[in-house]
Chain A
């Protein structure tokens, strides 16, 4: 049992207050003068600490994993959970259960492979290094955010939304030539048909990246900002592919044929996921 004559930290103070013991240890006055939290609890002889202790719920004793009335769980709860766990033995279950570093590294590597190895279209020259770096950084940041484990402290939705906004906006900034022109490339508009061809190519070529990301994701129902980010990240991969493999640099072509891929993916997946229900076991 703790010697309350030596109390000096919050736990000891709380324990003493709960038990109605006098706070006369050597370190107490100094602790109370410095710790406002304990100070608030210690007022009026620790009445609040005792009230909180009285309100602490009693927990049922540990029991077996079967349905148990003491737990307040339905009789079939454990059986349903076992069934759910059984489903996790498939390929997706195994991918989801990989350590987070492996999921992030594999998804990022897959994105890079898609970007740099396009047998259907050869690279058309040196890309703009700043543009390429910015898009790659956004892609990896998006992957890391999307595959962040639920067991870690939450990331604000604002941060997720900011990365998604950057992923959607940067391809349009590329179209406006923010990261510098690509000299020697064809600056003709190319027509709506060419833009549509690039759009289709980008949207399809980035699809495996989307599928892989979703396979690694552990959420049952994807939160809305994450859904937008899934689509936006897919658009970034498409944007990288097109940046490296398309010869047209006219702003209208890049905006319509390249940058809109992410917008479409994000809008489509956000709409789809917002219609999904919260997973229920019964």
Chain B
């Protein structure tokens, strides 16, 4: 299987099938990322379309030494940020929407699902800059240098945000105000 980076290089050279493969790999992941903050599925799909259009326009800017994943995440996060500015409303996580939007784990474990809901609800109460770092690092699997690159901050700033977010998250989970 070709790597994301090989696909991106091939696409920049004009290989359309490489774009389709990248789309197939990343559309579900990016849609999930966008659906965390957008309540309406159509809005998330519009943004997803914009992400791939921007990928298309930026294909000749791609540096083969860089990973494709954080590059795509940067596009998605920048578009999402701008979209919320346009809408003039703060992103808010709606647990119900998130759960509905994300594919269901087939190995269903009610206790684990309950815990997952509680953690996501607690995450939704964190300041956006802390939540964003934790989600990118834990849920999207980006390293701290990649998270920093996506958000335009230093690696140490990303770690500080994560640390503060973890402390706050622990506090929220320990309290009884996050229902199961």
Residues of chain A touching chain B, judged by Cβ–Cβ distance below 8 Å, are 10-11, 35-37, 39-41, 43, 48, 51-60, 62-65, 70-74, 77-78, 80-81, 84-85, 88, 93, 96-100, 149-155, 218, 220-221, 223-224, 278-282
Contact = CB atoms under 8 A, between A and B. Distances in A.
B92 interface: no
Contact of A96 (B19, B57, B102): B57
Contact of A278 (B45, B46, B149, B163): B46
B61 A99 contact: yes
Contact of A150 (B23, B46, B58): B58
Contacts of A36: 159, 163
Contacts of A88: 53, 56-57
A99 B115 CA distance: 47
9 contacts: A60-B28, A64-B24, A73-B31, A84-B49, A93-B57, A154-B77, A155-B152, A218-B54, A278-B87
B1 to A, nearest CB: 10
B23 A78 contact: yes
B140 to A, nearest CB: 9
Nearest to B120: A55
A127 to B, nearest CB: 35
Interface string B66-101: 000001101101110111011100000000001001
A225 B14 CA distance: 34
Contacts of B119: 51-52, 54-55
Nearest to A217: B57
B86 A37 contact: no
A65 B60 CA distance: 22
A56 B27 contact: no
Nearest to B71: A151
Contact residues of B: prevailing secondary structure: helix
Interface residues of B, number: 73
Nearest to A52: B138
A72 B81 CA distance: 22
A220 B144 CA distance: 30
Nearest to B104: A58
B82 A37 contact: no
Nearest to B54: A150
Contact of B60 (A58, A73, A93, A97): A97
Contact residues of A: prevailing secondary structure: loop
B166 A279 contact: no
B29 A59 contact: yes
Contacts, number: 167
B167 interface: yes
Contact of B86 (A35, A53, A221): A221
A65 B25 CA distance: 9
Q: Which 6 A-B pairs have the closest CB atoms?
A: A153-B152, A55-B119, A40-B166, A55-B116, A57-B102, A65-B20
Q: B19, B24, B41, B72: which has the most chain A beta carbons within 10 Å?
A: B24
Given A72-B41, A150-B58, A154-B152, 11 more contacts: A48-B170, A63-B28, A70-B28, A72-B103, A77-B48, A81-B53, A84-B53, A97-B57, A149-B61, A151-B54, A220-B53
A250 to B, nearest CB: 42
Contacts of B81: 154
A56 B138 contact: yes
Contacts of B56: 85, 88, 97
B177 interface: no
Contact of A70 (B25, B48, B103): B103
A279 B46 contact: yes
B134 to A, nearest CB: 7
Contacts of A58: 102-105
Given A55-B123, A59-B32, A150-B79, A223 B143 contact: no
Nearest to A57: B102
A203 to B, nearest CB: 28
Contacts of A40: 163, 166-167, 170
A144 B87 CA distance: 27
